[in-house]
Structure 1
Amino acid sequence: MTLQPRFVGQKLLAATSQQPQHTLELYIDYVCPFSAKLFNTFYTSVKPVIIQKYQQKLQVIFRQHIQPWHPSSTLTHEAGAAVLKIAPDKFWEFSAALFSHQKEFFDVSVVNETRNDTYQRLAKIAATVGVDEHEMIDLLRISEAIGDGQLNSGNKVTNDIKLMVKSNRIIGVHVSPTVYFNGVEEPNISSSFTATQWEQWLAMNVA
């Protein structure tokens, strides 16, 4: 599936002089422990291999996949959408930082705070990787003023979240993480994939 231009930061690597032959898509939820396991292995151990050996052949896309039974999932992905607006080149780095704080956004960790308070904490994490904290809050904050009577208008990234959810629904992704390779689900890749298994898979499918 093609990538919305506004979400270009979800690509792992900047565009090369030639279009890569293959596309790997990682459908990941920020508050899913299995997503964290896959992402952490990929980001720390597999990313360097791709840059070294496969950069001209493979593009990797992080597809944000909200799991709505965790209410904070939407809030964390809104933060990801805000980073894509402010500093798209920081998206993967922000994602790594957020996964390192993942448990701080589990159900029990957010149950007694307001939505805007959760946004404040997410903005502080973004600031650790060089994203402007005040810009983050401006995009995420829900106004408490009634104003013209709009009580359910969302925030400044709501429309981006709608696009992400719609595109995921079109292809029917449910489980997180889910991996697609060249437009087809790749069931052999799971959250338990080791760095060695990743290298073997890449050698077989991309080299």
Structure 2
Amino acid sequence: MSTDSTPEPAALIWGHGPRKVEFFLEPTCPFSVRASRKLMPFLEHVGEDALTLQVHIHSQPWHLFSGFLTRCILAAAALPDGRDRAWQTLRTIGDHREEFDFSGHCAGLNMQTTPDELIARLEVYTQLSLAVPFRLSSVTEAMKAHTRHARKNGIHVSPTVMLDGRVDDRFQSGQTIEEWAALLK
């Protein structure tokens, strides 16, 4: 619990199996979006008794609202049913990524968008109130923890996958869930 007794963002973990797969995803990266769409079907295919699936939000500076949107996802994680609210927020950003990212990383309609407008836009899509949890110190700490975990493991791009605590470059966003499952054997 944080020192100011604010809600802690929930860990983004599903399943409870002996094999652990960690996905490092950037909210607006098209490759991360493609991978994220397969995560729950992957878990269902492998089974919650066989797999522990953990998602880390991995901000990347060339996606210019990346840090901000990472914070929004972790703010959603601080709400009741936080894990599922964070997942909903991540998926919503991916489903509407042109409204949350810059064209070519440096241009487009989002050039005039303010952070408050982004929060309001995301609140409309998710039907979640994010403005208050966005400002929580526990969200700041969660952002730092996600970043430290990525750096500690030498992760620089998304999506990156760790299998049982080690980076595994065999996992690619363009593969099927069956191909991912085969990599667990």
What does residue 119 of structure 1 align with? 119
Q: How far apart, in 2, do the equivalents of 1:123 and 1:41 lie?
A: 24
Instruction: Return the structure number with greater helix share.
Output: 1
Q: Secondary structure at the match of 1:198?
A: helix
What does residue 75 of structure 1 align with? 68
Pairs aligned (count)? 169
Report if the CA contact (8 A) 1:103-1:109 is conserved: no
Q: How far apart, in 2, do the equivalents of 1:110 and 1:57 lie?
A: 42
Report if the CA contact (8 A) 1:11-1:61 is conserved: yes
1:103 corresponds to 2:98: yes
Q: How far apart, in 1, do the equivalents of 2:43 and 2:109 lie?
A: 30
Aligned-partner residue type, residue 14 of structure 2: L
Q: Secondary structure at the match of 2:14?
A: coil
Q: TM-score, normalised by structure 1?
A: 0.74
- 1:32-87 per-residue CA deviation (whole Å, 9 max, x = no partner) reads 111011111233x323213xxx3122100001100012221111111111011013
What does residue 137 of structure 1 align with? 131
Q: Secondary structure at the match of 2:172?
A: coil
**Which stretches in structure 1 are left out of the alignment for 5+ residues?**
1-5, 141-154
Q: Secondary structure at the match of 1:78?
A: helix
**Which stretches in structure 2 are left out of the alignment for 5+ residues?**
1-7, 103-107
Q: Secondary structure at the match of 2:52?
A: strand
Alignment of 1:81-100 (within 5 A): 81-87=74-80, 88-90=82-84, 91-100=86-95
What does residue 184 of structure 1 align with? 166
Q: TM-score, normalised by structure 2?
A: 0.82
2:12 to 1, 5, 10: 10
Higher Rg of the two aligned structures: 1
